[in-house]
Amino acid sequence: MRVLILGAGISGHTAALLLRRKLKKEHEVVVLTPNAKWNWIPSNIWVGIGDMSAKDVTFDLKPIYERAGIKFIQAKATEVFPEGFEEKKNFVRAESTEEATFSKVIDVEYDFLINATGPRLNFQATPGLGPEAHTHSVCTVGHAEETSEAFKQLIEEMKLGNQKTIVIGTGHGLCTCQGAAFEYLFNLEFELRQKGVRDKARIIYLSNESELGDFGVGGIALKTGGFVTPSKTFAESLFVERNVDWITGAHVKLVESDKIHYETLDGENHTLEYSFAMLLPPFGGVPLKIYDKHGAEISSELLNPAGFMKVDADYTTKSFEEWLPDDWPKTYQTKYKNLFAIGIAFAPPHQISKPKKNKHGTVIAPAPPRTGMPSAIMGRIVANSIVHMIKSNSLDAPYTASMAELGAACVASAGANAFKGSAVAMTMYPIVPNYKIYPETGRSLVHTTGEIGTAGHWIKKLLHFAFIYKAKALPFWWIIPE
C-alpha cells in the first residue's frame, strides 16, 4: 500500500512520521510538497523582529525523510483523480519544483491520500496588500526576514527622532490567524522599548475581530479569583498597559504606500496613515482540480468556493444559531473514504465567531483557526485511522478529533527576553463552543484558562526547541505530544 501526503506542514509532517513509524516497511509513505524546507511557522514572529534567523526555524526535509524511510517528492500538486483515469488507479498530478526539473509533470498513484496542503496566502484579495506591494508579513520565513530588515531600518529612523505610526493586524474582513498579528504586535512593541524608541511610535492594532480577544473563536471566558472574565477584558487591559491603540471590526479595502483604506461594522469608511504595516492576508485553499474516472471536472463536489476540501462535516445551509457542535468533522474523510483533508486544507462547516455584516453587505468576521495543536492532532488521528484501515482491510476510520471535542493550548509571545519578556499562556476546551454541555459560556471554565508572565515566555521558547526536535524525528521524538 502507498500512502501519499500532500504538504509537509504541521499536520502533514506529523501524519507522515507517525505512518512510517507504525506501518510495516512493505507499505510506502510518500510526501509530496513544493518546499524543500520545513518551517516552524509559530516562531516566524521572532524572525520578523530579528530575535531569530531563518536557520533557527527551518531545516531541510529530504535528509530527515531519507533517514526515516519516507519518500520525498518536491513538487506542487495540481490535480487529483480519486477514481483513477484511463489505465491508472487513483493518482495525483503534480509539477516538480526542483530547479533541475522545474517544468516536469509527474503522476503519483496512491492507495490512501491525505490533503495537508495548508493555506494559499491570498494577498490579492486586498489591492496593495503583501510583501510584493506595500505591507509586510510573517507568514513565511522569507517574508519574516524581509520584515525584520524593514523593522531594523524603522528603528534607525526613530533613533534620529522621527515619529512613526505602526499598524499591525489583518488585511481583510475574512482573515483568520489573528494570533500571529497579536504576537508580532507585542514583540515589536517590546523591542521598541528595549531599543529606547518606544516614545517615537504610535502602535495601532487593526483587526477584523468584532472585539479584542475574539481570535476567531468567539472569545473565551476565564474564571479567576471566583470571577468570570471575558477575554475582551483580558486583552484590553494588556493593550492599555502597553499603550497600544486598537481598531476592531475592520475590513481593509485598499492599501497605498502610506495609507490604509478600511470600512467598519458600522458601515463607515476610514483612512489610516502609516509608516510601517504588517497585515496578515486571508487564507484560501491551495489550487487543486479534481476529476472523475471519465476526466470530467468534479472540483465543486469536493472543494468549497474558497478551495478548502469538504470532509465529514454538515455543509447544509443554516443560520449561525442553528449550527451544532456535531456538525463539525470527526474523521476528516471525504466522500472518497481513502481521501482525507486535515489542518487548514479541510473546509470548516461554519465560522466559530458569529459573522457580522455592515449596512453595505460587507461580511467582517474572523475565519475559524485550524493551525498549531489542532492540526497536529488531526495528523495523528488520520495516521492512526489509515494504519487501522490497512491492517484490517477496511474503509472505516475509527479515530476521531472533532474540534467540538478537542481542547487547545496556545502560548502567545508578548516579548522575547529571558528576564523581561512575557507570553500569554491560554488553554481552551472545547475549541468549538458547546452550549448544551456548558450553557453559560460554551466552554469549560475549569479547562479554559489564561495567564500572562515571564514563565510563559520560557514555555514558548521550550516548545520551540521541543517541536523542532520532534519534527527532525530525533531519538524518541514520538514521546513529545502534539
Q: Would the pLDDT of 103 be above 70? A: no
Report CA torsion sign: 114, 119, 124, 125. Answer: positive
pLDDT of residue 102: 60
pLDDT of residue 224: 79
Q: Would the pLDDT of 245 be above 80? A: yes
pLDDT of residue 371: 87
Instruction: Indicate the pLDDT class of residue 6, thresholds 50, 70 and 90.
Output: very high
Q: Would the pLDDT of 87 be above 90? A: no
pLDDT of residue 107: 96
pLDDT of residue 225: 76
Q: Write out pLDDT tens, residues 458-476.
A: 999 999 999 999 999 999 9
Query: Average pLDDT in the 77-91 region?
Result: 95
Which overall architecture, per CATH, does domain 2-121+283-392 show?
3-Layer(bba) Sandwich (3.50)
Instruction: Indicate the pLDDT class of residue 405, thresholds 50, 70 and 90.
Output: very high
Single pTM value for the model = 0.96
Q: Write out pLDDT tens, residues 148-204.
A: 999 999 999 999 999 999 999 999 999 988 999 999 999 999 999 999 999 999 999
3-class SS string, the chain: CEEEEECCCHHHHHHHHHHHHHCCCCCEEEEEECCCEEECHHHHHHHCCCCCCHHHHEEEHHHHHHHHCCEEEEEEEEEEECCCECCECCEEEEEECCHHHCCCEEEEECCEEEECCCEEECHHHCCCCCCCCCCECCCCHHHHHHHHHHHHHHHHHHHCCCCEEEEEEECCCCCCCHHHHHHHHHHHHHHHHHCCCHHHEEEEEECCCCCCCCCCCCCCEEEECCEEEEHHHHHHHHHHHCCCEEECCEEEEEECCCEEEEEECCCCEEEEECCEEEEECCEEECCCEEECCCCCECHHHHECCCCCECCCCCCCCCCHHHCCHHHCCCCCECCCCCEEECHHHECCCCCCCCCEECCCCCEECCCCCCCCHHHHHHHHHHHHHHHHHHHHCCCCCCCCCCCCCCCEEEEEECCCCCCCCCEEEEEECCCCCCCCCCCCCCCCCCCCEEEEEHHHHHHHHHHHHHHHHHHCCCCCHHHCCC
Q: Hey, what's the cell of 476?
A: 524518541
pLDDT of residue 227: 86
- How high is the mean pLDDT of the chain? 96
Query: Average pLDDT in the 17-32 region?
Result: 98
pLDDT of residue 17: 98
Q: Write out pLDDT tens, residues 295-354.
A: 999 999 999 999 999 999 999 999 999 999 999 999 999 999 999 999 999 999 999 999
What CA–CA distance (Å, rounded) separates 78 from 103? 13
Instruction: Indicate the pLDDT class of residue 86, thresholds 50, 70 and 90.
Output: confident
pLDDT of residue 223: 86
What letter represents residue 279's amino acid? L
Per the model's pLDDT, the better-predicted residue between 10 and 86 turns out to be 10
Instruction: Indicate the pLDDT class of residue 364, thresholds 50, 70 and 90.
Output: very high
Instruction: Indicate the pLDDT class of residue 138, thresholds 50, 70 and 90.
Output: very high
